[in-house]
Amino acid sequence: MRGGPVPILRLGDTLVTGLLNELDDSSALALAEELTDRIVSDRARGVLIDISRVEIIDSFVARALMELSTMAQLLGARVVVAGMRPAVAITLVELGIELKGVETALNAEQGMSALGWRHSSSGLQEPPT
């Protein structure tokens, strides 16, 4: 048996997962391992990591995110980190931490659409011509 406390869901060829408030060494490793395995086994082309629950991101978590996205890219999948809180963004900038190479999106919905998904309820959208 494997895995951290966070489930990894598959939607088409996109994997969806999230981070909880605390991320320690072992769970970061577990997440990286499970995620890379799943990318290969599910032949995923995209990964969405929702971090809207995360209230504090320190250099450790930032590095974990960067590593995850590099690993995924090596396996041919794009990673989008979605839903960062304003306070978290400010802290990161003040600490001088750049999430280099990590794609970001405002929320899960926009992250999914960035990964090539289009939501079916197009009430707000212009219909494609």
Among 9, 12, 63, 76, binds other proteins (CB under 8 A): 12
Interface with other proteins (CB under 8 A), residue total 40
Give the number of other CB atoms < 10 A from CB of residue 52: 15
Candidates 37, 56, 120, 123; binder of other proteins (CB under 8 A) is 120
Q: Is 126 in the site for other proteins (CB under 8 A)?
A: yes
| Binding flag, residue 35, other proteins (CB under 8 A) | no
Which of 61, 56, 51, 45 minimizes the C-alpha distance to 99?
61
- Closest CA relative to residue 16, chosen from 99, 74, 58, 77: 77
Which sign does the torsion angle of CA 84, 87, 89, 92 carry? negative
Both tokens assigned to 20: 């909880």
Q: Which residues 51-110 are close enough to bind other proteins by CB under 8 A?
A: 78, 80-86, 88-90, 92-94, 98-99, 101-107, 110
Footprint on this chain of other proteins (rule: CB under 8 A):
12, 45-46, 78, 80-86, 88-90, 92-94, 98-99, 101-107, 110-111, 113-120, 124-126, 128
